[in-house]
Chains A and B, each alone.
Chain A
Amino acid sequence: MTTPSSQQRLRDMMLVRRFEERCAELYGAGKIRGFLHLYIGEEAVAAGLLPALGPADTVVATYREHGHALLRGVPARAVMAEMFGRVSGCSRGRGGSMHLFDAERRMYGGWAIVAGHLPVAVGLALADRTLGRPQVTACFFGDGAVAEGAFHEAMNLAALWQLPVLFVCENNLYAMGTALERYQAQPDLVLRARGYGVDAASVDGMDVEVVAAAARDAVERVRAGKPFLLECRTYRFRAHSMFDAELYRGSDEVARWKQRDPIALLAGRLRTRGQLDDAALAALEQDVAREVEDAVSFADASALEPIEELTRHVMAEVAP
């Protein structure tokens, strides 16, 4: 595994941003339906974290996982086709936005019951440990998940059995419309992990270089055989989903966070270092736009699964 250049990380974040901006438009056009949770504003977390993993490591994420899937290497075409509900989608269109799976790339979802996937991540790590594989499992979840019993049970199990799970808390300060300090008696989330004997750190999740450095360190510790929790302090710029009237926060707060836009932050830094100029940025923009438009065309031209196949993929089709 090679560490990506800062330019590559910039491109990663721009790809996710562009992809999701297109998704929002396509939602308006009725091409994408159901729930659509945008990651816009939080890209530095996935862009900092995912390159720290190797191809055999496992990723488990939430319903806000377009960025994780894309940066895990699931082709933009397959992700977009999934959003369109087409059979060429990474989950054959069955899952949609919230359930992106790609077993080959060890992108193990895409789960939409808050915190329900944390114990599953513990189990994946248990399998690795038991079978003597040196892999780690990276499990992404929101701050809201920390209130669920499943979080606490997963922490204890991972610590008790010393399993190689990297828990990544994407703390965007809100669980839907409820602010962290309104639902957590102890809003310092790393204390929760430490209370169970899981080492933890908290970093600025808007700064991709900070996340990347913390991720490298965390993955190393986990691979050595201990669970770790990395809290990334971040912010979602958009509504919780497409149905949210955002009554619970002021536009001034959103505007303040937008000043720390992870893409602008890195781009500005690269400019200062003389590693990026207008032309290079424009070229990157064109490049990701091309990739996204290609994905949209592919999705739009893809077939729907025939209705006769409705009850497929419920049980294994080849008897064991």
Chain B
Amino acid sequence: MSRTTYREALRAALAEALERDPRVILMGEDVAAYGGAYAVSKGLAERFGRDRVRDTPLSEGGFVGAGIGAALGGLRPIVEIMTVNFSLLALDQIINNAATARHMSGGQLGVPVVIRMATGAGRQLAAQHSHSLEGYYAHVPGLRVVAPATLEDARGMLATALRSPDPVIIFEHVGLYNLEGELADDAGAVDLDRAAVRRPGRDVTLITSGGSLGKVLTAAEQLAARDVEAEVIDLRTLRPLDDATVMASVRRTRRAVVIDEGWRTGGFAGEVVARIAEQAFYELDAPVARVCSAEVPIPYPQHLEQAALPQVEGVVRAAMQAVGRG
């Protein structure tokens, strides 16, 4: 075991990928000379050269499209979009091109591109820099969407994503980059299929992913102090969803709360709730609840931003209500 951070785990995964396969390239804004907006790729350009770790212009549609083309042409590109907010400029490429090429070519073409981006709020970056739009991507057939929430997943998801014959989107929550902990020295590839039970419990299932996992685990501890044993599920992969793990838990606890930093209306949490309603309705003892962001663009001041986002207290409250003690 070694002490490491989420950022370092991501960097180790990138370095290993570049090391192992000459077809792998990393490109994006400020990944080389600047060292990455969140310092994830720091040192990689020096190590692998500017051809394989390539700075791009501010042209999200252009370089994401080029990543798709390079994947079609036989490379294994890792495209870094600085944040999900700017991925909107590349949404056309991702949804209209990457996600459709296999299908509309009748299975002849595949787009093995990996697109990484930072996501989420919490750093007082205001309305245009605080989006959580994972749900937009999880909506689209043809994409695989993952959200590493732990050091193991930060270290291991990339390698598996690069083996995927289809596009994979990796969401890295900005609040996680400094997450510190122990990681096995031989940590490596992990699956991109299964949700993980991060804490077992029998009274209520708390379902979440990415940047919200830490808050939900804290909530589970507070619940335990009040004799409520919450089971915490980290979805890990937002598309395709691992229904089996979710339903197995909900069938045992008979209660569920879904926690998602996206907005409530039309959001990703609603999809999880709908699946529970479809597949486990008769086993439920309480309405399934959601803890999501308030219906407001994220405001700059700290007190308003924090009030807009899912918080530990809100999760505890929803869970207590679900177990009939709210």
Which bucket holds chain A's interface residue count? 35 or more
Which residues of B are found within 8 Å of A195, using beta-carbon distances?
Answer: none
Instruction: Tell yes or no: A144 within 8 A of B by CB.
Output: yes
* Cβ-defined partner of B294 (8 Å) among A148, A177, A311: A311
Supposing A178-B29, A178-B30, A182-B33 touch, asked if A113 and B302 sit within 8 A by C-beta, the answer is no
* Cβ-defined partner of A184 (8 Å) among B57, B297, B299, B300: B57
- Structural contact, B30 and A96, CB atoms closer than 8 A: no
27 contacts between A and B (CB under 8 A): A35-B129, A85-B300, A85-B301, A85-B302, A86-B301, A94-B300, A95-B126, A98-B129, A148-B59, A149-B59, A149-B61, A149-B62, A149-B89, A175-B58, A176-B34, A178-B34, A179-B33, A183-B57, A183-B58, A244-B34, A245-B39, A248-B33, A305-B301, A307-B303, A310-B296, A310-B308, A314-B295
Task: Determine the residue in chain B with the shortest Cβ distance to A175.
Answer: B58
Instruction: Tell yes or no: A33 within 8 A of B by CB.
Output: yes
Instruction: Tell yes or no: B128 within 8 A of A by CB.
Output: yes
Instruction: Tell yes or no: B125 within 8 A of A by CB.
Output: yes
- Structural contact, A112 and B128, CB atoms closer than 8 A: yes
Instruction: Tell yes or no: B127 within 8 A of A by CB.
Output: yes
* Cβ-defined partner of B300 (8 Å) among A34, A149, A183: A34
- Structural contact, A99 and B127, CB atoms closer than 8 A: yes
Which residues of B are found within 8 Å of A304, using beta-carbon distances?
Answer: 301, 303
CB distance from A119 to the nearest CB of B (A): 12
Which residues of B are found within 8 Å of A310, using beta-carbon distances?
Answer: 294, 296, 299, 304, 307-308
CB distance from B105 to the nearest CB of A (A): 26
Which residues of B are found within 8 Å of A178, using beta-carbon distances?
Answer: 29-30, 33-34, 55, 57
Instruction: Tell yes or no: A51 within 8 A of B by CB.
Output: no
CB distance from B26 to the nearest CB of A (A): 15
Complexed CA–CA distance, A98 and B85 (Å): 15
* Those of B266-297 within 8 Å (CB) of chain A: 294-297
* Cβ-defined partner of B129 (8 Å) among A86, A112, A176, A248: A112
* Cβ-defined partner of A177 (8 Å) among B34, B301, B304: B34
- Structural contact, B304 and A34, CB atoms closer than 8 A: no
Task: Determine the residue in chain A with the shortest Cβ distance to B55.
Answer: A178
Instruction: Tell yes or no: A189 within 8 A of B by CB.
Output: no
Which residues of A are found within 8 Å of B56, using beta-carbon distances?
Answer: 183
CB distance from B27 to the nearest CB of A (A): 12
Complexed CA–CA distance, A112 and B86 (Å): 10
Instruction: Tell yes or no: A205 within 8 A of B by CB.
Output: no
Residues on B close to A: CB < 8 A?
A: 29-30, 33-35, 37, 39, 55-62, 85-86, 88-89, 123-129, 294-297, 299-304, 307-308
Complexed CA–CA distance, A93 and B301 (Å): 7
* Those of A299-315 within 8 Å (CB) of chain B: 304-305, 307, 310-311, 314
Which residues of A are found within 8 Å of B126, using beta-carbon distances?
Answer: 34, 94-96, 98-99, 112
Supposing A245-B35, A311-B295 touch, asked if A93 and B58 sit within 8 A by C-beta, the answer is no
Which residues of A are found within 8 Å of B127, using beta-carbon distances?
Answer: 94-95, 99
A-side interface mostly? loop
Residues on A close to B: CB < 8 A?
A: 33-35, 85-86, 93-96, 98-99, 111-115, 144-145, 147-150, 175-179, 182-184, 244-245, 247-248, 304-305, 307, 310-311, 314
CB distance from A281 to the nearest CB of B (A): 36
Complexed CA–CA distance, A178 and B128 (Å): 22
CB distance from A71 to the nearest CB of B (A): 22
Which residues of A are found within 8 Å of B62, using beta-carbon distances?
Answer: 147, 149
Supposing A98-B126, A304-B303, A307-B307 touch, asked if A247 and B58 sit within 8 A by C-beta, the answer is no
- Counting from the closest, the 3 A-B pairs by CB-CB distance are A177-B34, A85-B301, A96-B300
- Structural contact, A35 and B34, CB atoms closer than 8 A: no
Supposing A94-B299, A307-B303 touch, asked if A176 and B86 sit within 8 A by C-beta, the answer is no
- Structural contact, A175 and B57, CB atoms closer than 8 A: yes
CB distance from A197 to the nearest CB of B (A): 22
> Knowing that A94-B299, A148-B58, A307-B303 are A-B contacts, what are 8 other residue pairs whose CB atoms are under 8 Å apart, sorted by A's residue number?
A34-B126, A96-B126, A99-B127, A112-B129, A178-B33, A184-B57, A310-B299, A311-B295
